Amino acid sequence: MFLEPHFKGQRSGWIEVICGSMFSGKTEELIRRLKRAKIANQRVEIFKPRIDTRYDDARVVSHDANSILSMPVEHSARLRVLAEGFDVIGIDEAQFFDMELPDVCQELALKGVRVIAAGLDMDYRGRPFGPMPNLLAVAEYITKVHAICPHCGNLATHSYRLTHDNADILLGEKDLYEPRCRACYQMGNILNLQA
């Protein structure tokens, strides 16, 4: 016997995650998907962590200066209220949000919202970054994008920090980070230890 779900007629939501190293096009892909949703007359909103002020306080900006107006958010719990009434929400720099983000995204998806989150999957130490592992675990769709290693031309999967500052979060651009493949990332870490 088939039992109909209690939310019959409700539009199904889901979670998409775009991940990769720095300079791999995560934000560019997020903006592209959100613009397509707008063209389809869907109600769209994008959020970013309040601490990310690298390019602009209120805009999500890709490294090649493509941008979209966003709403800075202090804590992921605020998304429960701020996402009300939208069909699609984007979340940029998801790694900088708190550990409650995956639960909030699941709640929104259950309400019929398409959630698209972009973020670094690993920190500069090569370890899973913030809420990203848990977000990846509950996502229906995952896109891993890659940069190109400037040292060998292979696919870059790591964000190599060019400074000896060991803060967990250090906002920066090409002055502080570069994308590297696994081998060049490891070689850089070995050379830093020897220096």
The residue annotated as part of the active site, out of 84, 93, 100, 173, is 93
Q: Which three-class secondary structure string do you get for the chain?
A: CCCCCCCCCCCCCEEEEEEECCCCCHHHHHHHHHHHHHHCCCCEEEEEECCCCCCCCCEEECCCCCEEECEEECCHHHHHHHCCCCCEEEECCHHHCCCCHHHHHHHHHHCCCEEEEEEECECCCCCECCCHHHHHHHCCEEEEECEECCCCCCEECEEEECCCCCCCCCCCCCCCEEEECHHHHHHHHHHHHHC
Catalytic annotation on 173? no
Q: Which residues are catalytic?
A: 93
